[in-house]
Structure formats: structure tokens, C-alpha cells
């Protein structure tokens, strides 16, 4: 089963890190990806740019509304994600506990909801 592990932390904590500490954290994350890949648990993942680069899109009554920044103010910001393959939630949680930024913030683990197949339109 697929699970997404959403990585959250306070960007201020990251901004306060020394260049070496930031480099070391990134190297730890790369090592984590290698271990997850070796165990055939890593499917995909990406780090995100800082929250000030975000744009929120809403569509209301057919009108597209854009606003700078995230949808909601939060203490921790979404920093990236890991898409994991695990046999069950317990394994997914155990895998997520090894993601290095968990020490700085939190990792939200959620099962992926598979969409049903697209309806086939009849052609005549």
C-alpha cells in the first residue's frame, strides 16, 4: 500500500541553522532515501521551496482566485514529502520515524487514496 509522509517544520528553525548544519541535514535526508530505496519502500519524494514562494489557487463560481503564500497560517510549514510503499500503517509509521526532519518538526503519514479507473465513453 502507498503512504505519503508529509514533512513539516518551522522554516525559522531551518533559517537559523548554520550552513554546515543545513548541509548535514540534507546529507542525512539523502542517506535516508538510499536506505528506503534499498528496502524497496521509496517511490518518490521532493523537497519544497520556502513557503513565501507559494501561490494558492481557488476557483469560486468559475472565477480563478490567486493569493500569495499558503492557504493557512501555521506554526510548521510543509517542507516536502516522501511517497512510501509499506505493507500497512504500522510499517509506514516506522519508516517515517527515520526521516531526519522528524527531529525538527513532524511527519504526517497518510494512506494514498487510489482513484477509480476513468469511465470509458462509448463511441458510436
Tell me the per-residue pLDDT of 52-105, one tens digit each, with 9 for 90 and over: 899 889 999 999 999 987 666 678 899 999 999 999 999 999 999 999 999 999
Residue 8, CA distances (Å) to 40, 64, 90, 115, 122 in order:
24, 28, 20, 26, 45
Q: Per the confidence metrics, is the pTM higher than 0.75?
A: yes
For the segment 31-56, the average pLDDT, to the nearest whole number, is 95
- At 56, phi and psi to the nearest 5? -100, 135
Q: What confidence category does residue 123 fall into, taking pLDDT thresholds of 50, 70 and 90?
A: low
For the segment 98-114, the average pLDDT, to the nearest whole number, is 96
* 85 neighbors 43 (Cβ within 8 angstroms): yes
Locus of grid cell 463560481: 61
pLDDT at 121: 80
Amino acid at each position: 500500500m502507498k503512504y505519503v509522509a508529509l514533512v513539516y517544520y518551522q522554516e525559522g528553525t531551518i533559517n537559523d541553522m548554520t550552513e554546515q548544519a543545513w548541509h548535514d541535514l540534507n546529507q542525512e535526508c539523502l542517506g535516508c532515501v538510499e536506505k528506503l530505496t534499498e528496502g524497496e519502500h521509496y517511490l518518490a519524494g521532493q523537497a519544497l521551496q520556502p513557503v513565501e514562494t507559494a501561490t494558492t489557487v481557488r476557483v469560486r463560481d468559475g472565477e480563478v482566485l490567486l493569493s500569495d503564500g499558503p492557504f493557512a497560517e501555521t506554526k510548521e510549514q510543509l517542507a516536502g514529502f516522501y511517497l512510501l510503499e509499506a505493507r500497512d500503517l504500522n510499517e509506514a509509521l516506522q519508516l517515517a520515524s527515520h526521516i531526519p526532519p522528524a527531529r525538527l518538526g513532524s511527519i504526517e503519514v497518510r494512506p494514498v487514496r487510489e482513484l477509480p479507473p476513468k469511465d470509458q465513453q462509448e463511441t458510436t
